Structure 1
Amino acid sequence: MERTLYSVSDLVSKTRALLELSFKNIYVEGEVSNVHYHTSGHLYFVVKDSLSELKCVMFKNANSNLRFRIENGMRLVCFGSLSMFEQRGQLQFATKRIELSGIGALHQAFETLKVKLLNEGLFSNEHKLKIKKIPKKIGIITSGEGAALKDILHVLKRRSPFLEVVIRPARVQGENAAEDISNGIIEMSNLDSVDAIIIGRGGGSIEDLWAFNEETLAKVIFNCSIPIISAVGHETDFTISDFVSDVRAATPTEAAEIICSSRDELMAYIISFQEKLISYVYSHNSGKKIEINNMLNRLMLLQPSNVIKSKQASLGAFYSFLVNHINELIELKKIRFLGITNQLQSIGPENVLRRGYSIAVNKKTKKIIRIASELLINEKFILKTSNGNLEAKKIK
């Protein structure tokens, strides 16, 4: 009997081909563990039951379409194909799509995302935008065929027939619904003068409303610069969009009532505004009267006679200052002059002679003799003293 010999790589490669052919586009259900979001964008995790576990990978291109974040402990239904990682000979499930399994899993995913966004500050009141009291233009993002749109338009027509309305039909249920609603919000943000946006739909199960529980939509709502009213389902239905939006309405009808005031409310607002306007005009006029009086007083001061008097007073004050300043300078100069005179007198020839000194002067030239060599032997000279002159002669 001839035996068949395989290399390891050949056997693994053939096994992979058989697996991918035999277990292509199948569903597998289990509990998730070992979730790891890799920096490459790939998602790695394990699905298991009470007896076995299976390693799974969801590559970046498929992971980017995932509508919620996978957490350990969730029960999932994964769609994809069984394959093998050839380098390690490791069985793995190449996941293309993931769904939550059962109502309990949906509630768990809802609570998990709710806590995550709460911690990130997306529900904080400080980020909520206020809706204008009297908006001129609003946008509506909902199903173009649903009852929610009819209810909203009915209320708007009755309460604010002058209001301009822009409708952007969108999917509100099923695959890509959250993405469609998000795109609608972005489109509305790029329009001119939209004062508020209503997003919503009628009631339904948690599966029906799930588009409004997706993180991508929550982030778009949070980053929108236009106030958003979330009106999803019935009064008892709460979605992530309700928490992130600037205002939550229990129903689409209530959203329309919030966005446009009734005639009585508008009348009360107009009366209140009128009273504030009258009060402002009165206080403004009082302020203007005071301002006018102050201007008149300044004009009186600027009359020619008053200006001349003011200039004369200023000139007189300056003259007095100038005279006083000159006198002070003269006195200072006198004191300085006397000081210099005294210094000069103290070092003058007369004072030197009074201290017992004498000065030798050439008899012919009358110049002071500073050294003996300036005279000849037997040449006569004069000695000046403090009380008279003496005639002397150089002897050697």
Structure 2
Amino acid sequence: MSQQHILQVSELTKKVRFILESELNTVWLCGEISNFIAASSGHWYLSLKDSKSQVRCAMFKGNNRRVRISPRNGQQVLVRARVSLYEPRGDFQLIIEQMEDAGEGLLRQQYDQLKQKLNAQGLFGQAHKQILPKHIKTVGIVTSPTGAAVKDILSVLKRRNPTIKAIIYPSLVQGEAATADIVAAIRLANERNECDVLIVGRGGGSLEDLWCFNEESVVNAIYQSQLPIISAVGHEIDTTLSDYVADVRAATPSAAAELVSDEVTELSDKIAHLTKRLLVNQQQVAQLSRQRYLALAHRLSQVHPEQKLQVQQQKADELENRLQYAIKRELQRFTIKPTQLKARLTLCSPEKSLADKNKQLKQLTQRLEHNAQQLVSQKQQDFAHLVEQLHMVSPLATIARGYSIARDANHTIIKSTKQVTEGDELTLQLHQGSLKTKVISKQN
């Protein structure tokens, strides 16, 4: 342990990133987009996946501005990317530099690969290219007999040099069967050897429409042709592999007709030859410059602050996403909390307790009224009984039987003759009414 250098985590991720970027450099990759995010900074973050694996990717705004498609989840794309490592997390990722739809992108990749292969085999070299004859009398045309290209060629030939004879070798110029048709037509023209130069071409179209002129068998047929061939495929901006292998490339079918209808002088031959050499040299210089640029760009990326800035921007985007998620989560929590508190408040609300108390009060009131009525009824019954008992012992009842009660002037009941003297006035209480009497005599 004492003799080994112990790495920090940041040192390890930096070394791994350097190894990945220096060893793998740029790769082409085809896959399906998932987890696509267009950050507010302008950068894109996504994953590319197939049925077994996926890899994280980032495409910075300087590059994604040139993308002609609108990326979406589930879309198949072809990308050119640098293999790298996102050091803050230690995540393996790709830095995408170019993106296009997988269909056209795969064709473009096949085009570039086949172009490199055929160029390495020498099919595009100037050494095998033939010079067009100075005096052309017969022109062979390999194209569709009903297309616009053959009409344009015949129209230009008729206008510029009506003496030139044209022989049409009919062929399909689009679709899977077109490749074999074009090859057969070129071979037939060579077997008959009845024309001075052969024009192979068609009108413009997409890369897929023109693909038969990029097929290796068509390129080999043009390369092996003993007749000089002018490639006139598409419009001026369209370029096929047939253009590179042909002896002369014309921008359009009409331009090819103009080439064969001109009287070619030594000066024009020399200009055409020098132009071809210039194009080849320009391509070589451009290729060398591109290689040097890529090497310098790679070296610069190791020390350039833009690399660190991109990492920091990616980290800032990630933190922004985390912050937005946290804010959203807190907002949801604060939205739910009042509802929870309201539910708790409802459970603790005095309204329910008050309703229960009112119900209980009503029940007690009813019980009180019932008990009061029972008590009053009982008291009435008791009172009636007492009245009845009182009536039974009441002196009035005795009086009702014929007895009377004597009272003196002071209303004192006379119970004995000793209480009165002769001559005293008494009041006799009868059952009905009273009498005033005077004591005449008394007996003891």
Flag the structure with larger Rg.
2
Higher helix share: 2
When normalised by structure 1's length, the TM-score is 0.42
What TM-score do you get using the length of structure 2 for normalisation?
Answer: 0.38
